[in-house]
């Protein structure tokens, strides 16, 4: 599973983007980014970061409305926007990567699936 958080201005400019993976560690033979499919490819789980069923998980992301700009010797905060659109997407990646296509012998299918998507509008008053 991969959690992607994107903050955009109303005109579509991306301000901040985060991505977090939730899967058991280590990967195949303890190296690389792919998870092994069977016990013959795994060297043992060091840490389990997967999303467990019926358990809640809280993640915190910091998305500033301003940026710090250096003017001479002073650091000044400049407002980027007064409102943002924040999109949160949870993706299921069966093979641990998001490349787009998977050949299954007869046809090309997607190798990843959008599990849940939430969009919110946030503003400063």
Domain boundaries, the chain: 2-123
| Separation of alpha carbons 62 and 16, rounded Å | 9
- 88-112: buried (b, 16+ CB within 10 Å) or exposed (e) per residue? bbbbebeebeeeeeeeeeeeeeebb
Is the predicted pLDDT of residue 41 greater than 80, yes or no?
Answer: no
Task: Find the length of the chain.
Answer: 125
Q: Whole-prediction pTM value?
A: 0.67
Selected residue with higher pLDDT from 1 and 4 = 4
Region for residue 2 given its phi and psi (left: phi exceeds 0; alpha: psi -120 to 50; beta: otherwise): beta
The pLDDT of residue 2 is 81
pLDDT of residue 56: 86
Highest-confidence range of 1-10, 19-28, 32-41, 51-60, by mean pLDDT?
Answer: 1-10
pLDDT at 38 > cutoff 70: no
């Amino acid at each position: 599973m991969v959690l992607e958080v994107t903050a955009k201005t109303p005109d579509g400019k991306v301000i901040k983007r985060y991505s977090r993976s939730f899967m058991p560690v280590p990967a195949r033979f303890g190296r690389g980014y792919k998870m092994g499919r069977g016990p013959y490819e795994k060297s043992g789980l060091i840490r389990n970061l997967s999303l467990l069923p019926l358990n809640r998980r809280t993640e915190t992301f910091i998305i500033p409305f301003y940026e710090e700009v250096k003017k001479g010797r002073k650091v000044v905060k400049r407002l980027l926007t007064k409102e943002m659109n924040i999109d949160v997407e949870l993706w299921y990646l069966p093979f641990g990567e998001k490349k787009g296509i998977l050949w299954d012998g007869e046809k090309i299918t997607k190798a990843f699936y959008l599990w849940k998507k939430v969009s919110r509008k946030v503003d400063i008053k």
